[in-house]
Amino acid sequence: MNLLKKIPRRKRFRTVGRAICLVFAFIFAYWAAILMGKGRYLFAFFPSLVVFIASFAEFVLMDVLTEKCYPARTEKILEGLEERLPRIERKLSEELDSVKSLLKACDINKVSITLHLKVSIYSSADDHSEDAFVQIMDYRGGFGGGRWRVVPATKGVIGRCLRTRKTEFVNFTTDEEYDTLMVEEFGFTREEANQHTKRARSYWAQPVFSRNELVAVIYMFSTEPQVFPKALEISHLDQNLRHLADLLEVARVI
């Protein structure tokens, strides 16, 4: 399993998909052979058809599906990040912990923090690029999803931060308010909103600039209500923001 994780996502997705197709092809080919051995040729047609479909899926459909789910140019960007980030991962974590320590009048044990990097992602259909964010750190704190999650710039408080180039925050008092605002204000479908955790009640997105260009966003949320913006003074973040930008530059991540 650990060996499989070391394979790039694009290759891993295609390899696993092809393996599944081969297993189906083998099982139904064996079944067809048994039926033919018994002289039941008409019944053998159906598992033989499944073998044909599985073979077609292995050689053609898996390549199409892989390109759709993992466009080659986008995967090349993510693979480059995976190669460069380990050099600065510890220092990035220290900076995020430092930001979290600046919070006042709240329980920091109920706050999770991560860093999203602005990248260009590509469509497999027309090779058109668009801005998006990729989560490059696991959450530091209570809970949250793992790294490498890609968020389109059109969605969420992170996307709004990119568009406004300013600090953004939002608070939810109930699950119903969360569902409504995520769809009506933050660009998610109701199905996408339902896939997100609803334990968080207060969110904060802080832009990180390098040479006047927005390159990343610090993203925090708390399970306590109404934590942001009162818990953090923006002026106290100046040094951390400079350090983060410098680290990303040194690692040639931006």
Is the pLDDT reported for residue 57 higher than 60?
A: yes
Task: Mark which of 70, 91, 120 sits at the end of a domain.
Answer: 70
Instruction: Give the structural domain span for 224.
Output: 83-250
Dihedral sign for Cα 88, 91, 96, 97, please.
Answer: positive
66 and 120 belong to one structural domain: no
How far is it, in rounded angstroms, from Cα 150 to Cα 171? 23
- Report the mean per-residue pLDDT for the chain: 84
116 and 53 belong to one structural domain: no
59 and 117 belong to one structural domain: no
DSSP 236: G
Q: What percent of the chain has pLDDT over 90?
A: 39
How far is it, in rounded angstroms, from Cα 29 to Cα 47? 7
Q: Within a 13 Å sphere around the CA of 71, how many CA atoms are in the beta-carbon half?
A: 15
Task: Mark which of 32, 49, 70 sits at the end of a domain.
Answer: 70
Is the pLDDT reported for residue 2 higher than 70?
A: no
Packing angle, helices 72-84 and 9-37, rounded to 10: 120
Packing angle, helices 62-69 and 9-37, rounded to 10: 160
229 and 120 belong to one structural domain: yes
Higher local confidence (pLDDT), 156 or 6: 156
pLDDT in tens, 141-179: 867 777 888 888 888 899 999 999 999 999 998 888 888
Looking at the structure of the chain, the number of domains it has is: 2
Secondary structure of residue 148 in the 3-state scheme = coil
Dihedral sign for Cα 27, 33, 34, 36, please.
Answer: positive
**Which whole number is the average pLDDT over 56-85?**
72
Query: Comparing C-alpha atoms, which of 153, 221, 218 is closest to residue 186?
Result: 153
Is the pLDDT reported for residue 100 higher than 70?
A: yes
Assigned domain for 40 exists = yes
Reported pTM: 0.73
Tell me which of 38-47, 83-92, 190-199, 219-228 is least confident. 190-199
Task: Mark which of 70, 97, 129 sits at the end of a domain.
Answer: 70
Query: Going by DSSP bridges, is the β-strand pair 129-135/168-171 parallel, antiparallel, or unpaired?
Result: unpaired
pLDDT at res. 4: 53
Query: How far is CA 195 from each of CA 68, 189, 190, rounded to the nearest angstrom?
Result: 21, 10, 9
Element (H, E) at 28: helix 9-37
Write the CATH number for 222: 3.30.450.40
137 and 18 belong to one structural domain: no
How far is it, in rounded angstroms, from Cα 108 to Cα 101? 7
Question: Highest-confidence range of 75-79, 158-162, 198-202, by mean pLDDT?
Answer: 158-162
